[in-house]
Amino acid sequence: MISRLWCWFDRTIWQLGRDLRLSYLPPLMVYCAAGVSGLTSIVGTFFIKEYLDLSAAFLAALGFWAMIPWALKMPLGHLVDLLWRHKAGLVYLGATLIAASLVIMIGLIGQPQAMGAILPASAWYVLSALLAPVGYVMQDAVADAMTVEAVPRLDEAGQPLDAATLRRLHTTMQMLGRVAIIGGGILVSIANVVLFQGVEALAESAKVAIYLRLYELALIIPLLSVSGVVLAGLLKRREARRLRALGHSRAAIDRLLHEPEEATAPNRWILGGSAVFIALTLGIGLSGFRYGQELIFVGSFAIIAFMMSKLLRELSPEAARTLLGTAIVIFTFRAMPGLGAGASWWMIDDLGFDQGFLSKLDLVTSTLTLAGLFLFRRFMAEQSIVRIVVFLVLATTVLALPSLGMFYGLHHWTTVATGGVVDARFIAIANTALESPLGQVSMVPMLAWIANSAPSHLKATFFAVMASFTNLALSASQLGTKYLNELFVVSRGQYAELGPLMIAVLLIGLIVPFIAIGIVKIRGLRTA
């Protein structure tokens, strides 16, 4: 028993340590910046609730628009492949946009009257909410490419690594990317717990001062990502010196460190389709058309699907079926609607969850998600996407029941039955502890498959197009959330329809993914 346990620990934990490389650090810094982006999420929730008169349906619609830039990973990824040597420039541009978004919120909280004299507070908030994702998607497209670049092709003696070793290192790199994002979330949660300590007893002006401080601290996000690309440049110079010492020519070193294995030719389908996508989005978005979101989603889906069909021709028929089946299953799982902002308002108003407690919940979530990535490492590596998604769907459904139960008074009964021990906060923490390790599981196998199996000269393009497809699922999720919030109206202080909304979300999330899995099987597709 002990030997089996040690074997599992060695393969799951120690092997990860043996696979670590200093070259992994730069993309991990960019990913960590994405994780730290959640530093302002709790502040944003309370700021909207207390100072902005925006409905849950409007916020869901804004969430749709905020997800659209992630579909821009398609042209950005191809651009990264075309400008491989100079891709760091996109990180600098992305950092500038993120900083601009944060500065807007700093001004809106610190100088509301001065900002209000220029534009309404709601307009400033919308602008900030749309600038940030454009910056993050630019950085993310480069970070994906950096993960491929970070995995060494040669061993310490300068000899090519074997295929099995490369596959293991790519899987490790992709898992560590999720770890970096979650690790950033843990740092955020710790900062929120510290800063929001005793906030419930503070005057309103003191709360606003904390909000302002958090947005000022968030300026570390663009600094962290820029530092990552600077470090990448320094590590490449060090590696160049090592390879020169091993006898490699300057031209060979340049090819190894600064160019993909094969040159990338401009893909007119990707570039042209992307131009159509951008024109469609901007044109409809600025027109004020009533069903603009729906039209943009359908058009975006059609364009991205067409781009995928062209890109899949670069693969063997078997590999194409595998990637397509995987993308469909993951898309469906990620497209399931959520509850929307009304659920957060209910927790604040009816359950009494303040900023400090929500910070602690975030800390539990981030910490256990990180632990879950290590615990589920072999599960992700050895099981098919279908089995992983089936597990996630069933687990998510079961773990939604405590929240539904609390809406109908479960916490009142448990509080009385346990002498006040198992109250609403106890249930929320316990449920979060069980649910949190599941969040990042579904994406790792697909990312690792692309890193290892996609054509070498199109790595960033494959990452970007598949990410555009699966991230478009989040736009679909926001649309579904908006529709459900229009059907079940939940407003501040009016939560009677939140229970039926919870039931609808639970049933949709349980049934639809199984339908998608059935379609994939019937069509003869495969999954990674």
The domain spans of the chain are 24-522
125 close to 52: Cβ distance less than 8 angstroms: yes
Give the number of other Cβ atoms within 10 Å of residue 307's Cβ.
Answer: 26
| Better-predicted residue by pLDDT, 37 or 286 | 37
Question: How far apart, in Å, do the first and last CA atoms of the chain sit?
Answer: 32
Question: Quick one: pLDDT at residue 243?
Answer: 76
Per-residue model confidence as pLDDT tens digits over 494-521: 888 999 999 999 999 999 999 998 988 8
What's the pLDDT at 248? 72
Report the C-alpha dihedral over residues 285, 291, 295, 297, rounded to 10 degrees: 80
DSSP E strands in 468-511: the ranges are none
Domain 24-522 architecture:
Up-down Bundle (1.20)
pLDDT, one tens digit per residue, over 450-464 is: 666 666 666 666 776
The span from the CA of 114 to the CA of 233, in Å, is 42
Q: What is the dihedral of CA 147, 27, 361, 472, to 10 degrees?
A: -60
pLDDT-above-90 percentage for the chain: 7
CA distance 16 to 12: 7
Q: What is the mean pLDDT of residues 185-197?
A: 76
Closest CA to 29 of 189, 319, 232: 232
- Give exposure, 87-113, as e/b (b: 16+ Cβ within 10 Å): bbebbeebbebbbbbbebbbbbbeeee
Give yes or no for residue 527 having a pLDDT over 70.
Answer: no
| pLDDT at residue 420, as a whole number | 78
Please report the sign of the dihedral spanned by the C-alpha atoms of residue 489, residue 493, residue 499, residue 505: positive
Kindly tell me if the per-residue pLDDT of 244 is higher than 70: yes
Higher pLDDT, 385 or 216: 216
Which among 451, 454, 455, 463 has a CA at the least distance from the CA of 151? Answer: 451
Amino acid at 398: V
Position with higher pLDDT, 71 vs 413: 413
Point out which residues pair with 91 in neighbouring strands.
Answer: none
- pLDDT tens across 296-347, in order? 788 778 877 887 787 778 778 887 887 788 888 888 888 889 888 788 888 8
Question: Is pLDDT larger for residue 97 or for residue 109?
Answer: 97
The answer to whether 84 and 260 are in contact (CB under 8 A) is yes
Average pLDDT, the chain: 77
Confidence of residue 203 (pLDDT cuts 50, 70, 90): confident
Q: Residue 479 and residue 81: Cα distance in Å, rounded?
A: 32
pLDDT of 84 strictly over 90: no
CA–CA distance, 218 with 229 (Å, rounded to integer):
19
Say what the pTM is.
0.65
Q: Regarding predicted confidence, which is higher, 181 or 274?
A: 181
Q: What is the pLDDT of residue 93?
A: 92
Q: What is the pLDDT of residues 384-441, one digit of tens each?
A: 777 888 888 888 888 788 888 888 888 888 888 888 777 788 777 766 655 555 555 5
Res 447: pLDDT: 64
Residue 264: the pLDDT is 65
